Amino acid sequence: MLFKKLPLSGAYLIFPEPRRDERGIFCRIFCAQEFAARSLETHFVQANTSTNMRAGTVRGMHFQQRPYGEVKVVRCIRGAVFDVIIDVRKKSSTFGKFYSAELTDENAAALYVPIGFAHGYQALTDGATVQYMVSAFYAPEYEDGIHHSDTSVGIPWPLPIAEVSSKDAKLPFLGQSRGFDDGE
């Protein structure tokens, strides 16, 4: 696997190194040794899948507060998504900054989302399916998020927004959010 450090501290894009032969393609999408060598999370307690019926659907921007802060490793396994993370760690020098990447079933790239980052994506294709590993169990009472259209963050969603849940539509803007409780 190839790990590309991103400009937001602790975040990575991870690319598989496919091996091709007459049968097709084989590649690793997770290796605890390679993650540990970079001091990345290696213990995941859930694997989730999300399918989006319509291109333009936005899910996010979600995170969980301590003690259920979670690392996510996100991959698109069908179609394509515009994947976004926002640094919501209050003490971070990149607080409020975002990073985006196109994840597709063809590029097989994964986004490593550290604790303290809001995460979300927009489906770029009908039926886009995202699979992700999570390091903490879902705890609804610690659930938090940032509104997907917060102009102070300025995420340039590539498609008109077709769908968003009523719950996500009620998320606060960054300025009204308590951010991630980074322990201080």
Q: State the DSSP H helix or E strand holding residue 20, giving kind and residue range, or none if neither.
A: strand 19-21
Instruction: Classify residue 97: in a domain, yes or no.
Output: yes
Q: Which pLDDT belongs to residue 181?
A: 76
Strand order in the sheet with 128-134: 2-5, 12-15, 110-113, 72-78, 128-134, 46-52
| Token couple for 91 | 């003490």
Instruction: Classify residue 14: in a domain, yes or no.
Output: no
Nearest to 17 by CA among 25, 5, 9, 8: 25
Side-chain half-sphere CA neighbours of 88 within 13 A? 31
CATH number for 54: 2.60.120.10
Instruction: Classify residue 29: in a domain, yes or no.
Output: no
Instruction: Classify residue 69: in a domain, yes or no.
Output: yes
| Token couple for 160 | 């008109």
Instruction: Classify residue 35: in a domain, yes or no.
Output: no
Number of domains in the chain: 1
Instruction: Classify residue 85: in a domain, yes or no.
Output: yes
147 is catalytic: no
Phi, psi of 145 (to 5 degrees): 180, 175
Nearest to 49 by CA among 18, 22, 79: 79
First to last CA, the chain: 35
Q: Which pLDDT belongs to residue 150?
A: 97
Query: Which mean pLDDT values do the consecutive 10-residue runs of the chain (184 residues) have?
Result: 97 95 93 97 97 97 96 98 97 96 97 98 98 97 96 97 97 92 68
Q: Which pLDDT belongs to residue 184?
A: 52
Find the domain containing 137 and state its range: 45-176
Q: What's the DSSP call for residue 171?
A: P
Exactly one of 62, 119, 147, 148 is catalytic; name it: 62
Q: Which pLDDT belongs to residue 39?
A: 97
Beta bridge partners of 57: 163
Place of tokens 């963050």: 153
Instruction: Classify residue 10: in a domain, yes or no.
Output: no
Q: Report which residue type is found at 114.
A: P
The span from the CA of 170 to the CA of 144, in Å, is: 11
99 is catalytic: no
Exactly one of 99, 112, 132, 148 is catalytic; name it: 132
